[in-house]
Structure 1
Amino acid sequence: MARMVFCRKYKTDMEGLDMPPYPGAKGMDLFNNISKKAWQEWMAHQTLLINEKRLNVMDMGTKVYLTEQMEKFLSGDKVDEAEGYVPPAKAE
């Protein structure tokens, strides 16, 4: 049976992560309060930001920026979007 958590983003009980995504207190907070679905959506959005904004993930400023965006995203707040990005058309 899947581990259930009350997801901070979706405000409902959902399947939880299999393991903490980070070490320490931050990882445990995410593990206990973020659903697997919300985390997967964040990972896709983070990849979009890195690619479209051409961010250098080795830069400390980028790490701070992505952490701020992650906290907003997982709390359901408005986050930055990639300027000019047009998602591919869905096949019908």
Structure 2
Amino acid sequence: MSNTVFCRKYQKELEALPFPPLPGKQGQEIQATVSKPAWEAWQSLQTRLINEKHLNMLDPESRAYLMEQMQRFFDNQETDQAEGYVPPSQP
């Protein structure tokens, strides 16, 4: 049976991340409070934001922007969306 965590995004017990997704204290905090499904949802949004907004991951301001958006996403606050993004229709 896999480990579970009370996910701050979805507010219920879900599958935990197998390891911290970021280095240091922030990665450990995410592993302890964010579920694997929430992390996967964040990665999808993060990819769209990087691509649509042409973010440069070598730029400290771009990385700070993504970290802010990540915290907002996990805390269920409004986040920026990729302009023109249309979610795939569900079958």
Q: Note the C-alpha offset of 1:24.
A: 1.3
TM-score, with length taken from structure 1: 0.92
**What number of residue pairs does the alignment pair up?**
91
1:15 alignment counterpart: 15
Q: Following the alignment from structure 1 to structure 2, what is the Cα–Cα distance between the partners of residues 41 and 91?
A: 16
2:51 alignment counterpart: 51
Pick closer, same or farther for the CA change 1:91–1:78 going to 2, 3 Å.
closer
TM-score, with length taken from structure 2: 0.93
Q: Note the C-alpha offset of 1:86.
A: 2.7
Q: Following the alignment from structure 1 to structure 2, what is the Cα–Cα distance between the partners of residues 87 and 17?
A: 25
Unaligned runs of 5+ in 2: none
4+ runs of 1 displaced by more than 4 Å?
Answer: none
Q: Which amino acid aligns with 1:67?
A: M
Q: Following the alignment from structure 1 to structure 2, what is the Cα–Cα distance between the partners of residues 60 and 8?
A: 27
Q: Note the C-alpha offset of 1:57.
A: 1.1
Q: Which amino acid aligns with 2:2?
A: A
Q: Following the alignment from structure 2 to structure 1, what is the Cα–Cα distance between the partners of residues 12 and 36?
A: 12
1:61 alignment counterpart: 61
The answer as to 2:41 corresponding to 1:37 is: no
Q: How many percent of aligned residue pairs carry the same amino acid?
A: 47
Q: Which amino acid aligns with 2:14?
A: M
> RMSD in angstroms over aligned alpha carbons?
1.2
Unaligned runs of 5+ in 1: none
* Residues 19-78 of structure 1 deviation map (CA, whole Å, 9 limit, x = unaligned): 001121111100110000000000000000000111111111000000000000011111
Q: Following the alignment from structure 1 to structure 2, what is the Cα–Cα distance between the partners of residues 14 and 38?
A: 9
